[in-house]
Structure 1
Amino acid sequence: MNSINNLLVPILVTLILSLPGHAKVSSEPDMGIQAAKSPQQEPNCKSKKKCQDTTDPNDPQEPETPEPPVNEFLPAGSSYQMQLQGALNTEYVADAYVFDLFDVSQETITQIKSTGAKAICYFSAGTYEQWRTDAVDFAPEAIGEPLGDWPGENWLDTTHESVKTVMKNRIQLAKDKGCDAVDPDNVDSHTQQSGFNISYAQQLEYNKYLSTTAHDNQLFIGLKNNLSQLADLHSHYDFAINESCIRWNECDMLKPFVDANKAVFHVEYLGVSGAGSSEFDNMCSIANNVGMYSLVLPHLLDDAYRFSCP
């Protein structure tokens, strides 16, 4: 009889446990419902990346905004020299030299950099200059109205693809020649009588294109004038170059650069008689208050004279 009982008991236990309503007993501790859920099962998980600390390596990655070169550019208050015509004078003690991209040799650029100064290569990003070697690369329909008192120079349609292609090639040339940074000029066509109806948004897109292209080439880039778009562009540019902000009472608009410890290179065209005058003293006072480095230079930027604030 005992042998029969020994056979029946295990069978009965097995039948009872298999009936509906009976859960399997586990020796594991109860970790709660939330611990059993994966991020994909979470009802409020709208985005996979928000729910996981790591990204699936097979997920497509969003394109990143190009970053400027690893090393920072010059801080606010740094000195500079700017000369765009004539044989470049490299005898000044300055933190940076601004000079024409086409007219200065790679050897001279190397010499400037050997002193510890930054080499900033200038080119016009908004005008056609008939004497440039790449002038033939602009589409005829992209060439607009003459530029004021500058013979042989015309405004460009900066929305035209041929213009963007030329500027991309110029930035590449700057990289190839060893420039540290570029200074694209005439980037305010939307405020000019250019012959084209360029909107604020179109100009902004073009100026961001210049910044992105420079950073893609590991070059720094400066915002030349164009204070009307500074609020939208200062975070995309590494320094600023300004002409005549004191004359137009606009220097305070450059403070976002200084506040971010980015160099601001400023020039006023006062003439030789302005040096040492009350006008010159006022210029230096304003420059010091803003935190920018100011020079008095000739309008032709030919190194005929140079006066800096004490």
Structure 2
Amino acid sequence: MKVLVTGTAGFIGSHVALKLLERGDEIVGLDSLNDYYDVNLKRARLARFIDHPNYTHVHGDLADRALVESVFATHRPQRVINLAAQAGVRYAAENPHIYVDSNVTGFLHILEGCRHHGVEHLVFASTSSVYGADLAMPFSEHQPTEHPLTLYAATKKANEQMAHSYAHLYGIPATGLRFFTVYGPWGRPDMALFLFTKAILADEPIKVFNHGQHKRSFTYVDDIVEGVIRTLGEVPGKNADWDGYAPDPASSGVAPYRIYNIGNEQAVPLMKYIEVLEQCLGRKANKEMLPLQAGDVPDTEADVSELIGAIGYSPKTSVEEGVANFVEWYLSYYPRTSSPLE
């Protein structure tokens, strides 16, 4: 099928595009290559598939309404995977307008494209950050998510609500995926694993927030990609059992709409995550213990029973395997004169 994938120069988007191309789909990729982090890394991700005969790249910003309209009109995608967004939880405190432009206005343009061009299914990225101040774990899609703690989370919560309204008004099947702490090769330089690895190799201290008391559903990128692609093939319908009075946040009785958690069910303590990284690098980290950051939550733990029921799949890659794969990629992408493993 022909699939529009936004954010194909991004961490998850590049992996998704490559996997879809490998299975024979025709991909239209849209990315602005903004400079939030190293543009050369983004270009290197794209270089893995930009010359593929079934790949067409469009350079541009989701916030550019005319551009997005032209992409839909010209390429007529059957399905859409929206992964483009202004990333980073804390960056929003410094640049809030960028988040609204990309994550809200840009998403509106995607919805309008789906509306006017008969898209069969929209799969879009949400985040576990929408759970915000809710401390009941494991996090379930059936919980309300009314108290996000960051603007980033608020924009993703807005995406979920916008998608539901379009699914209801225009019958656009839409599925949102709440990602839990994704890591792996070709990852983002602002994420903990990347920052830790860089610091340890440079013999610099790593910043360990909340004094290392975090616990996270660390989820390997290949597991995320598999879930995204399986979900793309599972088009939601209306829930006939809805009683009209107490709609389930995870589904809808008036629209073809679903929300799923996608994360590793085995939450891992942050200190264990660091320990695995130390073993893979053959070096000990110098840890600078710091208090909890504003807007951060102590723990995340994913309930993925709904995803298992819908597509028969849940992330399973252990942190030992996933971190080892990341370190192998990092050392090959950033070669050193002498390997820390020697």
Query: What is the TM-score with the length of structure 2 in the denominator?
Result: 0.33
Larger Rg: 1
Q: More helix by proportion, 1 or 2?
A: 2
Q: TM-score, normalised by structure 1?
A: 0.36
